[in-house]
Amino acid sequence: MVQRLGGGTGGVTRKASFAPVVDAATRVLILGSLPGDASLRAERYYAHPQNQFWRLLSAVVGTDLPALPYPDRLDALRASRIGLWDVVASATRPGSSDAAIRDVAANDLAALVATLPALRLVAFNGGTAWRQGHRLVPGVPTLALPSSSPLHTIGVAAKQPAWDAIGAYLHD
């Protein structure tokens, strides 16, 4: 969701996160910071074509996620016991850079975590998500992941080992 605050073209853009994608079987919750403009326009998580999120998770879940329609991607994550949400409920931000996020209202991560009886790990997609959120989930193991954003310019191969660590939390 995007909302213009203030009058005329000089208003500040306030952006909001999507609903969480979780169920009672969720073992790993991956938290981003706040959806970027491409995701907000498409109304779906990680919609920017250069974002590496779906490629990185493909190796973890053993499914070619980018080849699937978006609803099937979410189904594949749920079937793999992975949930999604964002640390930031809403904030002002021109463009999509996490560095430009201001006036943050956080999502109630502790309340969501309390509804997930099978949860074993909360993973943070990128430094901003980690800095904003790791203290909001006490009592749950956390993992800081290298950002899947195209603005974080190291390649998929360099990021993949950190993302692969999620797999250890998905199975008995």
Catalytic residue set? 51
CA distance 96 to 43: 14
Can you read off the two tokens belonging to residue 159?
A: 């990021």
Picking from 15, 22, 169, 41, the residue whose alpha carbon sits closest to that of residue 97 is 15
Can you read off the two tokens belonging to residue 13?
A: 């853009």
Helices (H) and strands (E) in the chain, counts: 6, 8
Please give the span between the terminal C-alpha atoms of the chain, in angstroms, as a whole number.
Answer: 37
**Sheet strands (E) in the chain:** 2-5, 12-16, 28-32, 82-86, 88-92, 102-106, 121-125, 142-145
CA distance 156 to 23: 28
